[in-house]
Amino acid sequence: MDQARVVKIGSGFGTRVEVLRTTYQSQTFARHSHDTYTLGLVLGGAGTFWCRGTERFARKGDVVVIPPGEVHTGSVSSGVDSLSYLAVYLPVGVAALHAEAAGARGGKPPEFGSLVLRDSVVRRAYQELDQAIGSAEGFRRAHGQGHADAAADFDEEAAQEAMCVAITVLIRRDGEGRSLIGTPGCGLRREPRIVSLVREVLEDSYAKSDETTLQVLAQRAGVTPFRVIRAFREATGLAPHQYLIQVRVERARQFLADGAVPSLAALMTGFADQSHLTYHFKKHLGITPGNYQRCVAMR
């Protein structure tokens, strides 16, 4: 049975950061990207993910780093019963502050040299973060349905300290404070005009289906539909409609965090109904909208 919980932890720089702790048996992730770093530790089992054109494997004890803008997938590895991991979704601006605290200069976000790290020092730092947020059963008790009183098991100050240490150790051990600029797939390089225009339309009009069709996008860009698809996919790794779904999921996540009920979040973000939102939300984030909202409402 798939289980996932989210908790928000102070970053030490005034921004609360989402941390996902999960155990999956059947979950698969569609091609997608995040506008944050995904910094995770495999706690048990093994997982397979596609990123930068290659299938990759991560087992218990491995630290996985997905930079912002990197299109990737994910699933439980074949022949393995389950995959458990802890993932920190770190905003780029906060990552830059952590990099500076780790000794980098220039105020730029870190570049990581590998997507999968096998480093005992980093692993131990992430294990301490896992323990600080409750570790396994304690985390589920603190953030499960009907157990709000158990939230006392979660020490947020200890978790914040552990997260700061884990991120700083990771940057020092692998990133060394290098800049993301110029890194393939990081999403910070200059985009072709067609791609910038299409991205702007999708991000501004995500809830208006009649304004985000391929035909309309091609007309706005002044090119053929095929050229829109090709240019956008080459630049982002996603087709325009895949990117639109990703934007809708992210906006729905924000509405849910602000207290909107799932049915209203679906309506406001262009999904046909709540079930349509739930399907794509879980495919992209690994958790249902209702479960996500219950978790973030706990604190």
Residue scoring higher pLDDT (63 or 138): 63
CATH of the domain at 121: 2.60.120.10
Q: Is position 246 within any domain?
A: yes
What distance in Å separates the CA atoms of residue 152 and residue 143, rounded to the nearest whole number?
A: 10
* pLDDT over 60 at 136, yes or no: no
On whether both 65 and 146 belong to a single domain, the answer is yes
Q: Is position 99 within any domain?
A: yes
pLDDT of 179 reads 39
On whether both 9 and 117 belong to a single domain, the answer is yes
pLDDT tens digits for range 249-263? 999 999 999 999 999
Q: Is position 267 within any domain?
A: yes
On whether both 219 and 115 belong to a single domain, the answer is no
* pLDDT over 70 at 183, yes or no: no
Could you tell me the pLDDT band of residue 156, with boundaries at 50, 70 and 90?
confident
Q: Is position 8 within any domain?
A: yes
* pLDDT over 70 at 160, yes or no: yes
> Taking CA 247 as the corner, what is the angle to CA 242 and CA 249, rounded to the nearest 5 degrees?
95
Whole-prediction pTM: 0.85
The range of the structural domain enclosing residue 109 comes to: 3-175
Total structural domains in the chain? Answer: 2
Q: Which of 175, 201, 230 is at the close of a domain? A: 175
On whether both 203 and 235 belong to a single domain, the answer is yes
**Can you tell me the mean pLDDT for 65-72?**
95
CATH of the domain at 260: 1.10.10.60
Q: Is position 184 within any domain?
A: no
On whether both 162 and 232 belong to a single domain, the answer is no
Exposure letters 267-282 (e unless 16+ CB within 10 A, then b): bbbbbeebeebbebbb
On whether both 165 and 270 belong to a single domain, the answer is no
pLDDT of 290 reads 96
Nearest to 243 by CA among 91, 89, 69: 69
On whether both 217 and 82 belong to a single domain, the answer is no
DSSP, collapsed to helix, strand or coil, labels residue 171 as helix
Q: Is position 185 within any domain?
A: no
On whether both 72 and 201 belong to a single domain, the answer is no
pLDDT of 106 reads 77
Q: Which of 175, 210, 226 is at the close of a domain? A: 175
On whether both 7 and 110 belong to a single domain, the answer is yes
Q: Is position 223 within any domain?
A: yes
On whether both 159 and 257 belong to a single domain, the answer is no
DSSP code of residue 129? H
Of 4-13, 73-82, 192-201, the one with minimum mean pLDDT is 4-13
Q: Which of 147, 175, 203 is at the close of a domain? A: 175
Q: Is position 182 within any domain?
A: no
**Can you tell me the mean pLDDT for 7-20?**
90
On whether both 168 and 266 belong to a single domain, the answer is no
Nearest to 74 by CA among 102, 113, 33: 33
Share of the chain above pLDDT 90, in %: 72
What distance in Å separates the CA atoms of residue 200 and residue 74, rounded to the nearest whole number?
A: 27
On whether both 118 and 163 belong to a single domain, the answer is yes
